[in-house]
């Protein structure tokens, strides 16, 4: 299967058929809420909410390794808050169920000040307006874009970057957008993304993310361009249909998009 595995439901969709029906309806440090910590003088904080929704290593690696990279490269002081559905013996992170996601998001929103930003990163399989969630060996379930929007509602009014790595992830933008948000997705609304075969270290998009955010003094505009070009190169080498990563910038987030803070 290798890297050619697309981060969409595929066979997962069969297992989710009953779940879709009940809903009315991807190609492949402590993470519990942190106590309030003062930021260094003249330094904003980046509250990093990383959600590995699928119980395979690529999902956890996409979010955990990007957090590490940002801690080394960003001008913000990174506050990592990670949840993962990989139920390994190590047990580094809490499970990314609704209760944990709500707790992490609520804690970040309560602590954030005007100089801070929220950074939400999600990695999973996807389908149009849906994300897969699989905890350990349990059957996968579906999270709709509207459900995700409700879980992220406490971030309203805060400058927020949302990054979603999954097939068809561009289809989530409509329900997640807000004036103070920047939304980056691994694929356009009608395309697969790639690299989420079992055993892979990263998705292609996740791999490109880690590389792009490792460069200092870049704006999000520059980071997105680097991710887009890197993904296109890897897909071209493998002769995959282009996933065409997307970005949406809210009217009150344009300054953040162009500031060289990453």
Is residue 203 scored above 60 in pLDDT?
yes
Query: pLDDT value at position 27?
Result: 42
Chain centroid to Cα 185, Å, comes to 8
Q: Which tens digits make up the pLDDT trace of 37-68?
A: 444 433 799 999 999 999 999 999 999 999 99
To the nearest whole number, what is the mean pLDDT of the chain? 87
Least-confidence region, from 29-43, 97-111, 113-127, 196-210 = 29-43
Burial class (CB in 10 A: 0-12, 13-18, 19+), 222: middle
Average pLDDT over residues 58-86: 96
What secondary structure letter does DSSP report for 27? B
Is residue 33 scored above 80 in pLDDT?
no
Is residue 28 scored above 70 in pLDDT?
no
Q: How far apart are CA 101 and CA 80, in angstroms?
A: 13
How confident is residue 247, by pLDDT bands cut at 50, 70 and 90?
very high
- Sketch out the chain's domains with CATH numbers: 2-33+44-258 (3.40.50.1460)
**Is the sign of the CA dihedral 162, 167, 170, 171 positive or negative?**
negative
Q: How many CB atoms lie within 10 A of CB 113?
A: 9
Is residue 9 scored above 60 in pLDDT?
no
């Amino acid at each position: 299967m290798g890297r050619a595995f697309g981060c969409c439901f595929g066979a997962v969709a069969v297992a989710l058929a009953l779940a879709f029906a009940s809903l009315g309806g991807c190609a492949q440090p402590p993470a519990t809420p942190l106590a309030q910590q003062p930021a260094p003088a003249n330094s904003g904080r980046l509250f990093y909410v990383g959600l590995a929704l699928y119980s395979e290593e690529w999902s956890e690696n996409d979010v955990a390794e990007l957090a590490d990279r940002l801690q080394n490269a960003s001008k913000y002081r990174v506050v990592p808050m990670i949840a993962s559905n990989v139920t390994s013996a190590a047990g580094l992170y809490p499970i990314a169920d609704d209760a944990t996601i709500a707790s992490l998001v609520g804690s970040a929103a309560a602590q954030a000040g005007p100089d801070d930003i929220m950074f939400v990163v999600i990695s999973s399989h996807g389908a149009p307006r849906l994300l897969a969630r699989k905890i350990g060996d349990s059957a996968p379930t579906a999270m709709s874009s509207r459900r995700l929007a409700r879980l992220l509602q406490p971030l309203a009014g805060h400058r927020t970057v949302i990054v979603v790595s999954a097939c068809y992830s561009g289809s989530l933008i409509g329900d997640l957008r807000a004036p103070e948000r920047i939304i980056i997705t691994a694929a356009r609304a009608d395309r697969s993304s790639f690299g989420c075969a079992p055993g892979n270290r990263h998705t292609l998009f996740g791999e490109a993310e880690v590389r792009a955010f490792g460069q200092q003094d870049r704006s999000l505009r520059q980071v997105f361009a680097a991710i887009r070009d890197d993904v296109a190169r890897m897909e071209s080498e493998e002769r995959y249909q282009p996933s065409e990563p997307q970005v949406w910038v809210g009217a009150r987030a344009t300054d953040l998009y162009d500031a060289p803070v990453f």
